[in-house]
């Protein structure tokens, strides 16, 4: 199996193209500053992952910005910190402020020359607009949790994407799902028979950051430490 075997790259966005962990921690800073005794970055991200996953299961049709506000409320309650509705809403609206990884825009511009580029993201359309401006590329299709009515790792999200790509003439063999999260993306992709590339942005850091631990059987066909490394691998294949 080679990268050049595929015609379509389907991307998770947050954690893969957008540095959501840095964005989350920055947006949580006012709340974290009031936690008695403080809290480490890893502990804050693990708590976020736990509450975000639970909220997505409980309210799969909730718009992501509202869901983030609900997660902020849950975190404030868990940590025993007073916070206002305005504080919760501010956190929910922070997605457009989350930074892109430095290699995302130039890598996407290169990959756009060789593939159709598709987003499959646990986000709402308005929040993604802000992130898209940071990525500097026009995607060929964008499928959000708002469009679908559920959140990954629900297989419905992948079926929704596959149905629409098939209608555009692209079968499973054409598609390489490209993502950081083993929990949200590689687990369901593997179960549905999709090839996938793991962009291991966390490297050798302990834990799973802002995502829940992966399910048993979560696998992938390629692994790269960054999107830039994936681009270099593609260039090497083309040189033969």
Ordered domains of the chain (ranges, CATH): 3-19+98-239 (3.40.50.1000), 21-97 (1.10.150.750)
How many residues does the structure list for the chain? 240
User: Of 12, 124, 154, 185, which one is the catalytic site residue?
Assistant: 12
CB 75 within 8 A of CB 48: yes
Angle, CA 79 vertex, CA 183 and CA 131 arms, to 5°: 45
- pLDDT reading at 218 higher than 90: no
pLDDT of residue 207: 82
Give the pLDDT confidence of 78-123 residue by residue, as tens digits: 999 999 999 999 999 999 999 999 999 999 999 999 999 999 999 9
In the residue annotation, 174 being an active-site residue is answered as no
Average pLDDT over residues 26-53: 94
Helix (H, G, I), strand (E, B) or coil at 94: coil
If you search the block for the tokens 């964008």, which residue do you land on? Answer: 142
Q: Which has the higher per-residue pLDDT, 37 or 75? A: 75
pLDDT at 138 > cutoff 90: yes
C-alpha torsion angle, residues 126, 132, 137, 142 (rounded to 10): -50
Structure token digits, residue 222: 């390629």
With tokens 């206002």, the residue in question is 84
What was the pLDDT predicted at 13?
A: 96
Rounded CA separation 230/111 (Å): 10
Q: Is this structure's pTM higher than 0.75?
A: yes
State the DSSP H helix or E strand holding residue 70, giving kind and residue range, or none if neither. helix 64-79
Whether residue 209 has pLDDT greater than 90: no
């Amino acid at each position: 199996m080679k990268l050049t075997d595929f015609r379509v790259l389907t991307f998770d966005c947050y954690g893969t193209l957008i540095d959501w962990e840095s964005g989350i921690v920055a947006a949580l800073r006012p709340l974290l500053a009031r936690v008695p005794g403080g809290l480490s970055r890893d502990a804050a991200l693990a708590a976020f992952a736990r509450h975000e996953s639970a909220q997505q299961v409980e309210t799969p049709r909730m718009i992501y910005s509202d869901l983030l506000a609900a997660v902020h409320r849950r975190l404030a309650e868990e940590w025993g910190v007073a916070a206002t509705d305005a504080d919760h809403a501010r956190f929910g609206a922070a997605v457009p402020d989350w930074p892109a990884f430095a290699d995302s825009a130039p890598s996407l511009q290169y990959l756009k020359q060789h593939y159709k580029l598709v987003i499959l993201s646990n986000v709402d359309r308005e929040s993604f607009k802000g992130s898209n401006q940071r990525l500097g590329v026009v995607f060929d299709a964008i499928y959000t949790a708002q469009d679908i009515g559920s959140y990954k790792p629900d297989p419905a999200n992948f079926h929704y994407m596959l149905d629409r790509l098939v209608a555009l003439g692209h079968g499973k063999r054409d598609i390489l799902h490209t993502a950081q999260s083993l929990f949200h993306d590689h687990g369901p992709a593997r179960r549905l028979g999709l090839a996938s590339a793991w962009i291991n942005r966390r490297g050798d850091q302990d834990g799973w950051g802002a995502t829940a631990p992966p399910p048993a059987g979560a696998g992938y066909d390629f692994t790269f430490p960054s999107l830039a490394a994936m681009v270099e691998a593609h260039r090497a294949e083309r040189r033969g």
